[in-house]
Amino acid sequence: MNISLVGRHIELSDAIKDHLMHSIDTLSKYHLDLISVNAVASANERKKGVTIEFTINVAGKNTIVITQRDDDLYAAIDIAIDRAQKALRRLHDRLSDHKNEGLNEAKNSAAHGIDLHEAHEALEDEIVPAEPILHKPQEVAEVLERLKESTNKVFEVFYDNDGKMRVLYKRSDGKFGLY
């Protein structure tokens, strides 16, 4: 990582340079490929304060630019570094999120150590026939009785005698509702 420290209309003392270097070193904890970090401290006589600007170049990503103005240079550096850490943390979280994994990486990680031919044959052996669930028409009264007797069910979906799909549910006030 290339680090550049520049002072415009302000002299960067060794203490300020050490503070900047220590602050910039904290940006490496996000394990991103930082190409360069440029820090420009400038004093403005009209606005009565100092401005610190960090330009962070991340490999393969957009450049992050943080500008902070304050009366105290150390305070401006600390606030700007906090903002840069937040931006890098967001970028790291976006990159390390499992949803951003490419299709080829997912295929390789899923098929690592698995013979696809054996897996295909194993799937053919696991077919189990199941009885179809018959949805015969039911009376609302009998579904209501089943729902009253059940302690863990909150609703019941069924077809009525007219062939309409209905939902009978327990309300919070102890009564029952019917859709």
Domain count, the chain: 2
Spatial separation of the C-alpha atoms in residues 98 and 48, rounded to whole Å:
47
Q: Is the pLDDT of residue 176 over 80?
A: yes
3-state SS, residue 13: coil
Is 89 inside any structural domain? yes
Question: Among residues of the chain, what percentage have pLDDT more than 90?
Answer: 43
Q: Model pTM?
A: 0.54
Condensed to tens digits (0 to 9), the pLDDT of residues 157-169 reads 888 888 888 999 9
**What average pLDDT does the structure give for the chain?**
85
DSSP string, 38-106: EEEEEEETTTTEEEEEEEEEETTSPPEEEEEEESSHHHHHHHHHHHHHHHHHHHHHHHH-GGG--HHHH
Q: Is the pLDDT of residue 109 over 70?
A: no
CATH code, 37: 3.30.160.100
Is 116 inside any structural domain? no
Q: Is the pLDDT of residue 131 over 70?
A: no
Q: Within a 10 A sphere around the Cβ of 84, how many other Cβ atoms? A: 21
- Residue 132 is predicted with a pLDDT of 62
**Can you give the residue range of the structural domain that contains 82?**
2-98
Is 25 inside any structural domain? yes
